[in-house]
Amino acid sequence: MARCFHCRRWILGGILHNSQRYCGKGCRDAATADQLIATIDATVFERMIRFAREQVCPTCHGPGPIDFYTRHTATCLLICLSWKDRSKLCCRRCGFRHVLGGLVWTMIFGWWHIFGPVVAPWQMLNGFRQLASMRKSDAPSAEMVRAVALDLAAIRSSVEAGQSK
């Protein structure tokens, strides 16, 4: 058995690319993006993060800064059990509403299954942690940094592909 070069999971088979083994196309593409991200100049990268955060909120069209906020929900009905984490790019006010909506949903619909008393408190704890981390800091979230880095990597790879033709 081998390990995926990107996610480090044990795999049988997989994809071989540049003498590295990956569990699938997603991991291969993510590893390629990580290699491109490592070559981006730090000052350009920080300037792009600042630029991305200063955009208007796509939800309410209010002023920024914008960031990713994650809504943690659990739906536990008689025969249905589901828990999800959904991120949304928006301003702090819309992000607070987004996270709070997930908490309210879980408080109402998260208990009506045999595993509800396990799943609902876990998702509610994640939601409360998200609310507690919504600070008035200028530091972007890790998800925002990753999104900007992937955008810059995609731009760079398309420019390099255009130059090689």
- Does any domain span residue 107? yes
- Does any domain span residue 96? yes
- Does any domain span residue 1? no
Q: Write out the residue range of the structural domain in which residue 137 sits.
A: 44-141
- Does any domain span residue 9? no
User: Rounded to an integer, what distance in angstroms lies between the CA atom of residue 51 and that of residue 59?
Assistant: 18
The pLDDT, as a whole number, for residue 136 is 65
As a whole number of Å, the end-to-end CA separation of the chain is: 39
85-138 pLDDT, tens digit per residue, is 899 999 989 999 999 999 999 999 988 888 889 888 999 999 998 888 886 667
- Does any domain span residue 34? no
- Does any domain span residue 135? yes
Give the single-character DSSP code of 62: -
pTM of the model: 0.73
Enclosing H/E stretch for 15: strand 15-17
Domain count of the fold of the chain: 1
3-class DSSP state of 112? coil
Q: Residue 165 pLDDT more than 60?
A: no
* Contacts of 5 by beta carbon, 8 Å cutoff, 6+ apart: 20, 21, 22, 27, 31
- Does any domain span residue 54? yes
C-alpha distance from residue 132 to each of 25, 86, 95, 96 (Å): 36, 17, 12, 10
Helix (H), strand (E), coil (C) string for 121-134? HHHHHHHHHHHHCC
- Does any domain span residue 30? no
